[in-house]
Amino acid sequence: MLLKTLTEAIGVSGNEKKVREIILKEIKPYCQDITIDRMGNLIAYKKGTAKHRKKMMLSAHMDEVGLIVTGITDKGFIKFKPVGGIDPRILIAKRVLIGEQKIPGVIGLKAVHLQKPEERKQAVNIKEMYIDIGEKSKQAVEKSVHLGDYIGFDSSYTPFGDKLIKAKALDDRVGCAVLIEMLKEQYAFDLYACFTVQEEVGLRGAKVAAYTVRPDMALVVEGTTCSDVPGVKEHEHATSMGEGPAVSIMDRASISNKTLSKLLYHLGEKHNIKVQYKRTTFGGNDAGAIHLTGEGVATAAISVPCRYIHSPVSVMNLDDFEACKKIVKLFLKELETFEMETWEGMK
């Protein structure tokens, strides 16, 4: 399954090569042109059928949160820093894979029965953690691990429960999988499917990709937080699992184009596909960079709800994923009916 292959590949921000290779192999038969820019963005171009064509950009980021090697102790323990937003509390005792050779290791912290009472009351600090790969000296570790090596979570794609799956990097390999499906269709407009890099460290790849494409409209497809869990009040649920993909209204990086957002939502309603609005304004995605490009780009975002994002065990409902694909496909077909004036006057 494509989603299994995508999520099990390691592509920490700045090191997306393995993910890019998977995507490139999948999309080659469906595109007129594929380019990889200096940042590492993969931009797939599909020529439209209309005589006078506008440019539509789809965006999903290839990168995931992870860690990077910053030091090796004399006793052979590896020190690290986070790449992207990670809650230190989820790291203890997690299995990881280090570098190109995927050296297995486990994240350690001084055992609780060895901690002083005041230590037990303090927040967990990444500086106190280390990775144990079973070696006894710095020299032994340096044979396979080096400063600057990327570290990914060792986590497999696992179906469980009622149409749920557990995997790492659902944010945003779900979006990448949706874009791959969209490239299999033909459209009146020119379609640019942009698989971006370094979203988790500041929307960097999308900024460059949008500058290259200069689209008339853009849609970002994401995996977003799902907070319908114990301890969170219902009115604070960003999204609810099993209720369909979530259409964004605004977040800390952008305000979605109202016309496009309403269209996404109403297409779901019209075709009896579950859809919801994202009910919080936290976070951000590639739309934050894309909508500011050139003279401005009419941009919207739709996301698949995922519990426990930015961890090795994100959880997603497959029905939400399939519903997202259906709505995005309907959305693109609906854009084909837009007159030139509609594209130009989108505000």
Radius of gyration of the chain (CA): 21
Q: Does position 231 have pLDDT exceeding 70, yes or no? A: yes
Beta-carbon-side half-sphere exposure of residue 323 (alpha carbons within 13 Å): 28
Confidence of residue 131 (pLDDT cuts 50, 70, 90): very high
Instruction: Enumerate residues 6+ apart whose C-beta is below 8 A from 4.
Output: 157, 167
Question: What is the percent of the chain with per-residue pLDDT over 90, rounded to a whole number?
Answer: 81
- Complete DSSP assignment for 31-73: -SEEEE-TT--EEEEE--SSSS--EEEEEEE--B-EEEEEEE-
What value does the mean pLDDT take over residues 343-347?
Answer: 69
Q: Is 184 helix (H, G, I), strand (E, B) or coil?
A: coil
Distance CA 285, CA 306 (A): 15
Q: Quick check: 158 pLDDT over 90?
A: yes
Task: Say how many domains are in the chain.
Answer: 2
CATH number of the structural domain spanning residue 88: 2.40.30.40
Average pLDDT over residues 108-130: 75
Contacts of 295 (CB under 8 A, 6+ apart): none
Would you state the pLDDT for residue 306?
Answer: 95
The chain-wide mean pLDDT, for the chain, equals: 92
DSSP-derived secondary structure for 114-150: GS-HHHHTSPP-GGG-EEE-S-SSHHHHTTT--TT-E
CA atoms within 13 A on the CB side of 31: 22
Full domain range(s) for residue 271: 2-64+168-344
**DSSP code string of 277-292:** E--------THHHHTT
- Biggest alpha carbon distance in the chain? 73
Query: 123 and 14: one domain?
Result: no
Domain-embedded: residue 159: no
DSSP assignment of 203-249 equals SHHHHHHHHHH--SEEEEEEEEE---STTS-GGG-S--TTS--EE-S
Of 120, 153, 186, which one is at a domain's C-terminal end?
A: 153
Residue 338 shares a structural domain with residue 215: yes
Would you say 324 and 180 are in contact if contact means Cβ atoms under 8 Å apart? Answer: no
Say what the alpha-carbon torsion angle 79, 84, 87, 90 is, to the nearest 10 degrees: -60
The answer to whether 222 and 175 have CB atoms below 8 angstroms apart is yes
- The residues annotated as belonging to the active site are 199
Q: Residue 246 belongs to a domain with what CATH number?
A: 3.40.630.10
Confidence (pLDDT) at 340: 65
**So what's the pLDDT on residue 75?**
95
Is pTM beyond 0.85 here? yes
**Confidence band, pLDDT 50/70/90 cuts, at residue 280:** confident
Same domain as 99, residue 36: no
Give pLDDT, residue 164.
Answer: 97
Q: At what angle do helices 318-335 and 258-270 cross, to 10 degrees?
A: 120
**Are residues 208 and 323 part of one domain?**
yes
Residue 331 lies in a domain: yes
Q: Are residues 21 and 60 in the same domain?
A: yes
- Do 256 and 290 share a domain, yes or no? yes
Answer yes or no: do 60 and 87 share one domain: no
Q: Look at the block and give the residue holding tokens 């990444």.
A: 126
